[in-house]
Structure 1
Amino acid sequence: YLIGQLFQGERALIVEPTFIEYRDSCEAFGYKVQSLILKEEDGWQLHYEMLESKLAEVDLVFICHPNNPTGVIYEPSLFERLLEQVEKTKTMLVIDEAFYDFCEESHSLAEQTKTSKHLIVLRSMTKMYAIAGLRLGYLLAHQDVVAKLSPLLPHWNVNGLAQEIGFRCLQDDDFVAKTKQYIAKERNKLLPSLQQLGYYCSSSNVNYFLLRDSNESSDELLKFLLEEGIISRHTHNFIGLDGKYLRLAIKREEENKRLLEALKRWKERC
C-alpha cells in the first residue's frame, strides 16, 4: 500500500494469477489496472515478448517472483531485458520476492536496486521464519526511491520486538539452507507421486504449488480435504484460475504423506 500511495492515480500492469493485494492497493489509490494473465498450457511462464509492448503504456509493473500461487520462477534473461527497457520507458518495476529464500538457487534482483531507479524489490520475513503474526518485511530500492517513500511511512511502523526478532532471523543462515534442502527433497517426492495419481501440479520451486483434479471447480475437493483435517487455499479470487485449482503447501514429511493418502482416497472415491 505504500507503493500504491506514492504512485496513486497512475497506470499499473499486474502479471497474474498472483497475490491479490497488488490489485487491492492499486484500486484503493485510483489506478487504472491492466492484467497480463499467464496460462497453465504455457507452464505459467512469463516471457519478455509478452511485456515488451505494454511497458510504454503503464507506469508500474507488478511481478511476483517466485510466483504466488504457482511457485514458478522465470528465466534470468527476462529480468535483464526488462531492466534495460524500463530505463527507457521510465516504468517502475515492482518485484515481490516474498518466497525467494525457498528457491535452491538465488533469483533475486536485490543487487540491481543499487543502480536502477526503476526497480523496487519487496521481501517478507514471515514465510521462511514462520513469524506471520509479526507482519515483518522490507523493501529494497535505489536511495532516491527510498527518499520518496520514507515520508509516507506511518510512525512506529515496525515495533521493537519485531525488529529484534527479524535481526536474529537474518543471522540464521544455517536454518535457511537446511529449510531449502528439506522443502526441495519433500517437493521432489510429493509432486511426482500426485502426478502419478492423475493430478496436475504446477512446476513449483518453492514451498507451495497448484493442484488441479479436473477442469471443474475444486470446491468439492476442498470440502473433502477439510473433512480429512487438511486446509487448502481456494483460488476463486485469483484472476485467471477460476476456482479450478487448490494451492497446497509442502510441509513436514509426515504431513505430506497424510496429504498424499487423502488425495489417493479422493481418487478412489471418484
Structure 2
Amino acid sequence: MSWPEHGAMPDALMKQLNQIRQDQPMDFSVNTNPLGPPDELYYNLPKWVLLSTQYSEPSLQTIKQAISEALNVKPDQVLPGNGGAELIYAAARLFQQKKVILIEPTFTEYRKALEANQAFIVPIYVSESSEWKWSFEHIKIYLENADGVWICNPNNPTGKAADHSELMKLLEYCKMKQKTLVVDEAFYDFQQEPFPFLTYTKNEYPVVQLRSLTKMFTIPGLRAGYMVASENVTHQLNQFFPPWNVNIVAEKAMSSVLHQKQFVEHTVSFISQERDRIKKELDHHTSFYIFTADVNFFLLCHRDFRDTKKLLVFLAENNIHARHTYHFPMLEGKYIRLAVRTKPENDYLINTLLRWNDEC
C-alpha cells in the first residue's frame, strides 16, 4: 500500500488508512470552490453537451480570442490547455536538459514534468520557521547559474502567496538576466490581493503564467486552463499541443466563466471569512496550529506531536477526508492540508477536531 499522490482520491486514502469508505464523505482534501460552479454554467451545460457531436476548432482560435480579450493580451500570447496538468508538462519543455530552481514543498507534478524533460532541478526549501515563504536573496544565489525558476503562487500545499516585494525583485532580476520564470497561478482567483503578473507578461518580461479554471469554478472533470506568455514562448510550445486538445464542452465552459467577476468576489469573501473563523476556533480552543493562508486551503499541525496518521484515521472514522503530506519534502506527514468547505461542513470539521483534542 502507498499514500495517494493527490487529494480527491478517497478510495486510495481509505485503503492506506485501513478504513471502509462511508457514503458521501466530507472531502476536505479537494481544493475546489465549495460553492460549486456558477449558475450560468449549470444552466448551459446540457446544451453544450449536445454540441459534443461536433469537433472543436483544431487551433482553438475562438477560445484564444475570448481569453485574450478578457485579459487584454494578444491572442498569440495564449495557449488553452486540457487542464493545468497539460500546461505544466508543456511548460516543463522550456527547461529540457537545463537547470531550473524549484521552490519546495510544492505541487509534486512540477518535479515529475521537469524530470521527464531531463531538467537539472535545484530545490530551494522553505520551512515552517519562515511561514513557508521564500526570499529573493536566497533564490538569487542559485539562480545566477540556472536557466530559470519555477514557482507556484499562491503555493500548493502551503496556501501561501509570496510577498509582492520579493516577486518584484525576482521579476526584475529575471528580466535583466533573461531567466525564465514559470508561475503556476492555479489558485490566483482566490486571493484578496493577487500579484499582477499579467502586467509584466504584457511588457516583455520572461514570464510564463499557467492558470487553471478548475479550482475557482469547480470543473475538474472538464479539464480547462490556459497559458499566457510572450509570443516567442507560445510559438515554441504550441507545436507540442495536439489539435483539438480542449473539447467543445470545456471550450464553452471556459468562455462562460471568464467574466464571472461577481461570482469570484463572492467566493473570495466567503472563503476569507470561513478560513479566519476556522483558524480562530481551533487556535483558541485546541492544541492545533493553523497556518495563515491566502487561498481556499491551509496547513494544520498539532503542537505536541508531528505524525498525523492517527489524526487522519480519526477524521476518516468521522467521515472526513483530509490531504496527507507524506509526499512533500519539509512536510513529510507532520501536517495535513484542509480545504475550506461550506459552513455546515466547516462546523462539523471544527467540532470533530475539538473532540479529538478532548479525547486524544
User: TM-score scaled to structure 2, two decimals?
Assistant: 0.73
Question: Does 2:354 correspond to 1:264?
Answer: yes
With 109-118 and 122-131 compared, the bigger mean Cα shift is at 109-118
Preserved CA contact (<8 Å) 1:186 1:250 = yes
| Residues 171 and 205 in structure 2, CA contact (< 8 A), matched pair in contact too | no
Residue 203 of structure 1 aligns with which residue? 292
1:245 aligns with 2:245: no
The counterpart of 1:12, out of the listed 100, 117, 128, is 100
After TM superposition, give the deviation of residue 7 of structure 1 in Å. Answer: 2.8
Corresponding position of 2:278: 190
Amino acid at match of 2:297: Y
Whether the 8 Å CA contact 1:117–1:145 is kept in 2: the answer is: no
Counterpart Cα distance in 2 of 1:215 and 1:12:
35
CA contact (8 A) 1:210 1:245 kept: yes
Distance 1:183 1:172 in 2: 17
Judge conservation of contact 2:291–2:300 (CA < 8 Å) in 1. yes
Larger RCO of the pair (alpha carbons < 8 Å, separation 6+): 2
1:100-179 aligned at under 5 Å gives the runs 100-179=188-267
Contact 1:94 1:119 in 2 (8 A): yes
The alpha-carbon deviation at position 95 of structure 1 amounts to 0.8
2:134 paired with 1:49: no
Q: Secondary structure at the match of 2:175?
A: helix
The answer to whether structure 1 residue 63 and structure 2 residue 151 are counterparts is: yes
Amino acid at match of 2:117: F
The secondary structure found in structure 2 opposite 1:212 is strand
Q: Percent identity?
A: 38
Does residue 82 of structure 1 match 2:170?
yes
Q: CA deviation at 1:99?
A: 0.4
Is residue 66–residue 73 contact of structure 1 (8 Å, CA) maintained in 2? Answer: yes
Supply the distance in 2 between the matched residues of 1:251 and 1:108 (Cα, whole angstroms). 27
Q: For the residues of structure 1 that align with 2:346 and 2:149, how far apart are their CA atoms?
A: 35
Q: By how many angstroms is 1:215 displaced?
A: 4.2
Partner secondary structure for residue 15 of structure 1: strand
| Deviation of 1:108 (Å) | 3.3
The partner residue of 2:179 within 73, 91, 94 is 91
RMSD of aligned residue pairs (Cα, Å): 1.2
* TM norm structure 1: 0.97
**CA deviation map 1:70-99 (0-9, x unaligned):** 111221111111111112332111111110
Counterpart-to-counterpart distance in 2, 1:2 and 1:267? 45
Q: Secondary structure at the match of 2:228?
A: strand
Q: Give the match for residue 3 of structure 2.
A: none
CA distance in 2, matches of 1:260, 1:211: 12
Counterpart CA distance in 2 for 1:220 and 1:231 is 13
SS at match of 2:293: coil
Secondary structure in 2 aligned to 1:30?
coil
**Cα distance in 2 for residues equivalent to 1:10 and 1:96:** 19
Q: Is the 8 A contact 1:14 1:34 kept in 2?
A: yes
CA distance, structure 2, for counterparts of residue 263 and residue 108 of structure 1: 37
Measure, in 2, the Cα distance between the counterparts of 1:74 and 1:31. Answer: 24
Do the aligned partners of 1:100 and 1:108 also contact (CA within 8 Å) in 2?
no
Conserved? CA contact 2:191–2:294, under 8 Å: yes
2-side partners of 1:62 and 1:5: how far apart? 12
Partner Cα distance (1:203, 1:25) in 2 = 29
Deviations 1:25-44 (A, max 9, x none): 01111111111111101111
Consecutive unaligned residues in structure 2, runs of 5 or more: 1-88
Q: Distance in 2 between matches of 1:6 and 1:62?
A: 11
What secondary structure, in the 3-state scheme, does the structure 2 residue paired with 1:120 have? strand
Letter paired with 2:159: G
Amino acid at match of 1:53: I
The answer (yes or no) to whether the contact 2:100–2:146 under 8 Å persists in 1 is yes
Amino acid at match of 1:202: F
**Matching residue's letter, 1:92:** T
Distance 1:18 1:116 in 2: 27
Q: Evaluate the alpha carbon distance shift between residue 159 and residue 242 of structure 1 in structure 2; reply closer, same or farther with a 3 A threshold.
A: same
**Partners of 2:185 and 2:93 in 1: CA distance:** 20
